[in-house]
Amino acid sequence: MFTGLVQHVGRIASIEPSPAGRRLTIDPAGWDHHPAPGDSICVSGCCLTVVTADGRGWAFDVVPETLAKTTLGGLARGSRVNLEHAATPTTLLGGHMVQGHVDGVAAVSRVQSGDDWRVEFRPPADLMACVIPKGSVCIDGVSLTLARVEPAAGVFEVALIPTTLEKTTLADLKVGQGVNVEPDAVVKAIVHVLRHFGSQPQV
């Protein structure tokens, strides 16, 4: 479990084939966190397990399902990634409850920079029911508040504060780029129940 408050931005040091799919090694230079093998790290919204952590970086095995359903399959050496270590029961929940289970990739459809920096996204159609006005959404591992939701148009928008632009990768977003999206877990649960069991008679 994570909070969506990015703690550091790392870079992809290497990408190699592995029996599990692909092994990503991340250079976390400048972050004083020291994970052990088996620990969970949120990498641009994806919960990954540390395989090794040493002076060469932190290695993670990424399975084909994750490569297919997230943006991790398109990363290259040198790509910047948002990092957050797992929360504990005593962690201040400054963002919202983030599982690190990416539900789909949304495309950036508009970027408005300047004093009122806003980014519009077009997610997979089935995720629109899970984004609600003023609700929470996790974009590339960043907890954000939904500023605008247009179900008919199939888009939603977030407003980015200067701290987010400075401390995460979101300032680099360009139109057409894909991002990892995880809607709020509570909203997802409600939508799932209504979709699959809402019309069934009560017993």
Q: Give the model confidence (pLDDT) of 40-51 as tens digits.
A: 999 999 999 999
Secondary structure percentages of the chain, helix, strand, coil, to 5: 20, 40, 40
pLDDT in tens, 78-104: 999 999 999 988 888 889 999 999 999
Q: What is the DSSP letter of 110?
A: E
Enter the pTM of the model: 0.94
Question: What was the pLDDT predicted at 104?
Answer: 96
Question: What was the pLDDT predicted at 101?
Answer: 96
Max Cα separation, the chain?
59
67 phi, psi to nearest 5 deg: -65, -35
CA distance 37 to 63: 17
Chain centre to alpha carbon of residue 45: 2
**Which of 13, 194, 166, 181 is closest to 106 using CA atoms?**
181
Question: In CATH terms, are 8-85 and 104-197 the same topology?
Answer: yes
Neighbours of 188 (CB within 10 A): 17
CA distance 18 to 25: 12
Neighbours of 127 (CB within 10 A): 21
pLDDT in tens, 7-31: 999 999 999 999 889 999 999 999 9
39 phi, psi to nearest 5 deg: -70, 155
pLDDT in tens, 144-180: 999 999 999 999 999 999 999 999 999 999 999 999 9
Residue 199, pLDDT above cutoff 80: no
As a whole number, the mean pLDDT across the chain is 95
Question: What was the pLDDT predicted at 200?
Answer: 65
Domain extent listing, the chain: 8-85, 104-197
Q: Please report, for residues 56, 74, 116, 159, the alpha-carbon distance to residue 111 in angstroms, rounded to integers and kept in the order given.
A: 36, 21, 11, 10
Q: Which helix (H) or strand (E) holds 25?
A: strand 21-27
CA 88-186-120 angle, to 5 degrees, is 100
Distance from first CA to last CA of the chain, Å, rounded? Answer: 34
Report, at the CATH architecture level, how domain 8-85 is classified.
Beta Barrel (2.40)
Q: What DSSP string runs through 64-113?
A: HHHHHHSSGGG--TT-EEEEEEPP-TTS--SS--B-----EEEEEEEEE-
CA distance 78 to 147: 31
Q: What is the DSSP letter of 36?
A: -
Q: Which CATH number fits domain 104-197: 3.90.1280.10, 1.20.1630.10, 2.40.30.20, 1.10.230.10?
A: 2.40.30.20
